[in-house]
Amino acid sequence: MTEGTQARPERVMVLEPDAERRQMLAQTLMQSGFRCFMADSVHDALPFYQDRQNSACMLTILNARLPWCESVELLSRAQENDWPVLFLTAEAANVAHLQSLFDLPCDALVHPFSPKQLMNAVDRYVIYDDVNFIKGGWINRNRILMGSEVKYFNLPMQGASPFKKINEVGVQPPEQWVKGSLDKLRLAYRKAPCYGQAMPLAEDILTCGSTNLAEFLAYSIRAVAAYLEMNTEFVISSTLKKDNALHGQDKVLAICKELGATEYYNAIGGQQLYSKEDFARQGIQLSFLDTRPIRYAQGSGEFQPNLSILDVLMYNPKEQVQEMLREYDLR
């Protein structure tokens, strides 16, 4: 590495007090081949930065609403070592203010972000089934609305372990959980305006009979895509010829080359992880999908964002959801 050239990070510290968001971010990054550390406070995160082996080429994803009195030491260390920082914020306009406080390479990850928009925007969508399962993450669970309360909706696992790949993890036999899960969905959404159209889709997915987690998830993704009439080809990662020792950007580039891709779309949060110049040198145009704010009527209560796609489908006609899928900008 020449002087003045910053190495692209392969290690990421996710510093986020909210456990759900912390797990979701770490899960997404680990599925892309990055080594992740997680902390819910600056106090818990600092020991990782004191270990030079861990902190080398470290990207920090930091909730912008953490108290500055706690964050200043960490950001000072980042400034001294030229470590990049990605602020997690709900307001993109906050970035300029945050950048003015510390002279360091930083950007913002604006939430929420919709994976379904990314799926709809591309010709081919690679389903990562050969990366490690994350316990407590979002691989086997989501959130639904029951009355006015947000509740978890879980897919019960069998033999789940963070030392296993997703395609090595099992799902419990259908007779042990499917009926109870369907009853829960019926109770939650029976009064929703599009229940009659969306509930058969949920029933089809939950009764697919697969006892392999990766196969179950792939079936559910394809079923939702078919319902929404997406013209997207789905590719299973484990079926591709690639060097599984690769991580991060190098792994993504290898998959793109294997598929003969000329364009690659990533979530907006990947701007600190992937380089447009590096992709361009491989003949691939890299773009980042930036979701616009989306709201819809959820009965009579206050709107609850970031729920399962089933919630969206229960409250919105298919044609309206198809319009929502186009509510993004490419950066």
Q: How many CB atoms lie within 10 A of CB 211?
A: 12
Residue 330 β-bridge partners: 289
Mean pLDDT, the chain, rounded, equals 83
Tell me: pLDDT of 93 over 90: no
To the nearest 10°, the Cα dihedral for 207, 210, 212, 217? Answer: -50
Contact 281, 274 (CB under 8 A): no
For 115-164, the pLDDT digits (tens) are 777 788 889 999 989 888 887 778 899 999 998 899 999 999 999 988 89
Tell me: pLDDT of 88 over 80: no
pLDDT classification of 4: cutoffs 50, 70, 90: very low
Residues 6+ apart with CB under 8 A from 196: none
User: Residue 148: is it exposed, middle or buried by C-beta count within 10 angstroms (0-12/13-18/19+)?
Assistant: exposed
Tell me: pLDDT of 269 over 70: yes
Tell me: pLDDT of 2 over 80: no
CA atoms of 237 and 187, how far apart (whole Å): 36
The b/e string for 88-125 (b: 16+ C-beta within 10 A; e otherwise) is bbeeeeebeebbeeeebbbbbbbbebbebbbbbbbeeb
CA atoms of 81 and 57, how far apart (whole Å): 10
Residue with tokens 């050239």: 5
Tell me: pLDDT of 246 over 90: no
pLDDT classification of 75: cutoffs 50, 70, 90: confident
Q: How far is CA 327 from the centre of its chain?
A: 18
CA atoms of 236 and 215, how far apart (whole Å): 10
Share of the chain above pLDDT 90, in %: 47
Going along the chain from its start, the domains and CATH numbers come out as 11-110 (3.40.50.2300), 115-234+292-330 (no CATH)
